[in-house]
A and B are shown apart, each in its own frame.
Chain A
Amino acid sequence: MIARSAVALLALGALVGLVPAGAAEADSVDGTTGSVAQAAAQTRAAQLAAAGVRGIALVEVVPFGPGSAERWRLDNGLQAIVAADDAAGVAAVHIWLKVGSADEGPTKTGLAHLLEHLMFKGTRTRPAGTYDRELEAYGASANAATWVDWTMYHQVVPPAAVPLVLQMEADRFVHLNLTLAGVKSELAVVQNERRETVDSDPDGLVAEHLGRLLHGTGPYGHPVIGWAADLAAHKRDDVMAFYRQRYVPGNAAVVVTGTVEPTAILTEVAKTFGAIAALPAAERPKPTTAAPLATEVRQSVTIEASAARLAVAWPTVPRDHPDAVALELLAEALCGAESSRLDRLLIDDRRLASGVSCQQDGTRLPGAFDIWVTLRPGRKSEEALAAVDAAMAALLGAQPPTAEELNLARVRSTTGLYRQLASADGRADVLGQTWAVCASLADHAAWWQRMAQLTPADVSAAAKRWLGRPGRAVVLANPAPPSVSRKPGARESRQVAAGTP
């Protein structure tokens, strides 16, 4: 049961304009407060029962976007999240799975992502290419993504095509049919992707080094796309074993947003996914709050690039930790705009950098607070590190974040949320990701409510708790000196071989 304060919701609505009139009075499903959205959901439950739709129960109703979002649970454990509105004229259908690269074992890195690719290779009744072909006939374009905590499949379609999408998604959820040739060709595609986005991309390489330094052999220590050697060794049986262990109803949510009729959607979800047997999911890595690094770990690498890069990361907290929102607001305040503190210092005043960014990871397990700097040609990453260290020392000492900085960061964050929620696909993203990483959909609103309430003292305290620690990871990436003559294919002695653990 979810019960939250109506007052808190109204405050959130005032902040981000997410709560339409009449919809913010309550969101609990215990029947004690009632609301238009709640009443509609209860009516829907009765309609479903009257229509003979069994094995589906309402879990929560939350104000969301231009209306509300409902979360339902099928008896087999699968979740159905529906947020209907009249504005879009389209429907977004997402399948979210609580399966990511953090769930892979040693030597099996890249398996979750490879499986994501292979999910488009057909089923017993729909040969390879059929899935895309059926959707393209509507003008739709299906795609998917894999992250450390989740995998998601998404498409935007005309509302009339939603039943077809659900049928095809349920089909490949249990009836994936992989041929050896199909696995081989798609593995080659993924290897191409790795060469393109990591091995031939200086930023991709730096990210890979940083992740390994920061998380070691932990669940987040290897790249989502996998180490090159592991990728090359994956077999069809590995993929199918992972699929059977992880693609089970209890790990999955169907998210539908846009111009849809929720009762019809839920009926279709129950008919398609409801027929899938409940199976136990493989155990996931357990969340902890312990920071894994006690001291700084630093790596210098040579990159084939025009300019140096610096990446610094402090181990911090998971998304559901009370400090997470403070750290995210701090990241926005430090690097979110041209007039923000680190941008001014590194780009304008010191003219060291051409770009700087900060972020607090929104992960299920403890993540990190990162600062990334792309230097101007000719400048060294060590110069940027010295400047960042000085700025962070000031932040933690005499120059804590100000109320004005945080207010501006809040305004920018809110505008960013509007951008995301403007499309049905963006709204499905928010709902799916919230479900995959947090306990309930209500956590999304709670997050923004918390952000509205944060004081400079709150943010300063969180910064001191997590960014004042000695344990951190630093990657100093500098281009090879132009005067050095190299044979084609030669590797710098200090460069860690790309794509190997």
Chain B
Amino acid sequence: MTTWRRLIASLGLAALVMAGPRPINAAPKPPRGAMPETLVVHRPWPPLVSVRVFIGGGSSLDPPGKEGQTLLGWTSVLRGTKDRSRQQWQAALDAIGAQVEVAVDKSGAMLVADAAADHVEALVRLLAEALQSPRFDPEEVAAQREELLADLQHLADDDGALCDDALGRYLYRGQAVGRPAQGSVASLQAIAPTELAAWHARQVTVSNLWVGFAGAIDAKRAHELVKAAFGGLPNRAAPRAVAVKGVTEGRRLLLVDKPRRGQTQMAVALTTVAASAREFTALLVANAVLGGPFTSRVSRDVRQLRGWAYHAETTLAPGMHTSTWVATLGSATADAVPALELVVKLWEELGRHGVTPAELQFAKNWLLGAHKLSQETAAAELAYQMRGRALGMEPADIAAIPARIAAVDLKTVQRTLKERLRPEHLVAVVTGPARQLRDKLADSLCQFTVETIAADGAPETTTGAGRAVTSKPLAVEATPTTAPGEEPEEPDVDDVDDGADLEPAP
């Protein structure tokens, strides 16, 4: 076991890439042609090539009652093709020493694979085969469903992950993006293999796919591989993800009961402007002051000075329609409420008083320096570029991000905080022993409306199957994310929401 002094603070780099000026809700672009867009970041050493395939249209497109369809779909794609059984396909992948991981979020899916340079052609062929001609064998889909159901249960074992997951659903409850990407027991069981085949046919089109290469491969070779492997994709309009709205329901807190835990995990969030908004860059800088690096206000006051948490930081997660500003921390149960109050207070003070000139300069230096350092490897640079492209940013927009950060001035930051930071609408999730926490949270200075559920009910709460064991003063609502019978909007690749979370779990 390696124990770390502290968790690496989020650098907000995923956020950086979303800061482009491209207008949201742009008209659908015509199909780009017969080939998927291909990005290449070349580095001659080591002899390794990372391949990323992004497919637009994420879990926010899952129909009500079929939450988890996108995840089940993409993971099932890797379980056999029309020409090869799962075992044969997997054996071919293993034979070249390659790994493939799948990440799905509300806006899309990313397949991330790598292999030694000698094997990249075989890897691309295997990926293309899986993407273009999946078998969706009922037995394999059932087996994959079983794995996802097990993952759902395992989620409850990891308090931090449970807290993050619950926040995503609780913050955006009532919206399509508030649906759980991993589905629920009931929704996963309701998805038929034939539905996956129909979903797949809609999603996999030339204009909805980006392919990226990083490492020991040049652009010419990469384009040749894409042409050979993906040349047969249908060429039609791509689906469109549904919009996300800002959350302004006042302060509320969901307490997820873990009766015997001595440690409490907390996440506090608010929604703010879209990544494409002019003010977003100013908020990035403000986030760096609040909870970015180790010497930021939250880390200093919660961790360094008081020892109240092993990790305490804030992240500004960008979205195309609305961005999410989140603080996360874990404290001993006895310290949890004061720690939460302190974080809320720091947020309120940031909104009231803004940042100092010295903090502004420091935050800009940190963001710009971290951005440069983070681009060291080809795989990291490709990931950065693809996130931006998947959100509709042009290469010039991506390249302009550092200059935009450098140009932010104090006046802009202060004005943006006054106008866009809305701490009166903070939403929190706390996982810990409800018996010890509930009354303290309800009485805390933060003035949250507190709702309590059992840990095993949490994953299903926003889809209607949650189990409210106690409530004070409000019971958890079983909130359908979409009206019964309502279908998602016709998807369009130009309208996807953020892809900031599209990294496979380590």
Contacts and interface: CB of A to CB of B under 8 A. Distances in A.
B295 A418 contact: no
Contacts of A339: 87, 90-91, 94
B2 A147 contact: yes
A339 B95 CA distance: 10
Nearest to A336: B94
A126 to B, nearest CB: 13
Interface in A264-316: 304-307
Contacts of B370: 139-141
A195 B94 contact: no
Nearest to B305: A185
A348 B139 CA distance: 12
Nearest to B148: A354
Interface string A77-114: 00000000101111000000000000000000000010
Contact of A87 (B45, B94, B96): B45
A415 B95 contact: no
Interface string B486-502: 00000000000000000
A271 to B, nearest CB: 25
Contact of B116 (A128, A187, A418): A418
Interface string B317-358: 000000000000011100000000000000000000000000
Interface in B468-504: none
Which of A89, A117, A190, A193 has most B Cβ within 10 Å? A193
Contacts of A87: 43-45
Contact of A129 (B4, B91, B295): B295
B111 interface: no
Interface residues of B, number: 80
A401 to B, nearest CB: 15
Given A185-B307, A207-B1, A139 B8 contact: no
A156 B376 contact: yes
A132 B303 CA distance: 14
A207 B157 CA distance: 15
Contacts of B306: 185, 188
A262 interface: no
Interface in B57-91: 87, 90-91
Interface in B416-469: 433, 435-436
A189 B332 CA distance: 10
Interface stretch (B198-206, B226-234, B255-263): B255-263
Interface in A473-501: 486, 488-490
A186 interface: yes
Interface string A172-203: 00000000000011111111110111011110
Nearest to A488: B259
A40 interface: no
Nearest to B157: A305
Contact of B97 (A129, A188, A376, A412): A412
A172 to B, nearest CB: 13
A438 B29 CA distance: 58
Contacts of B433: 488-489
B52 to A, nearest CB: 15
Nearest to A490: B260
A339 B143 CA distance: 15
A199 B6 contact: no
B114 interface: yes
Contacts of A411: 95-97, 116
Interface residues of A, number: 82
B248 interface: no
Nearest to A376: B150
A200 to B, nearest CB: 5
B460 to A, nearest CB: 14
A66 interface: yes
A335 to B, nearest CB: 12
Interface stretch (B165-173, B217-225, B360-368): B360-368
A424 interface: yes
Given A139-B365, A200-B261, A377-B153, A193 B310 contact: yes
A339 B146 CA distance: 18
Contacts of A238: none
A192 B309 contact: yes
Given A132-B294, A339-B90, A17 B47 contact: yes
A144 B368 contact: no
B304 interface: yes
A113 B3 contact: yes
Contact of A306 (B46, B153, B263, B305): B153
B126 interface: no
Given A136-B362, A306-B153, A377-B149, 8 more contacts: A85-B45, A143-B8, A144-B5, A156-B373, A184-B307, A185-B304, A374-B154, A489-B260
16 contacts: A90-B373, A129-B300, A132-B294, A139-B369, A139-B370, A144-B4, A185-B307, A192-B307, A200-B159, A224-B2, A306-B156, A339-B87, A340-B94, A411-B97, A418-B116, A488-B260
Interface of B: 1-6, 8-9, 11, 43-48, 87, 90-91, 94-99, 114-116, 143, 146-147, 149-151, 153-154, 156-160, 215, 258-263, 293-295, 300, 303-311, 330-332, 362, 365-373, 376-379, 433, 435-436
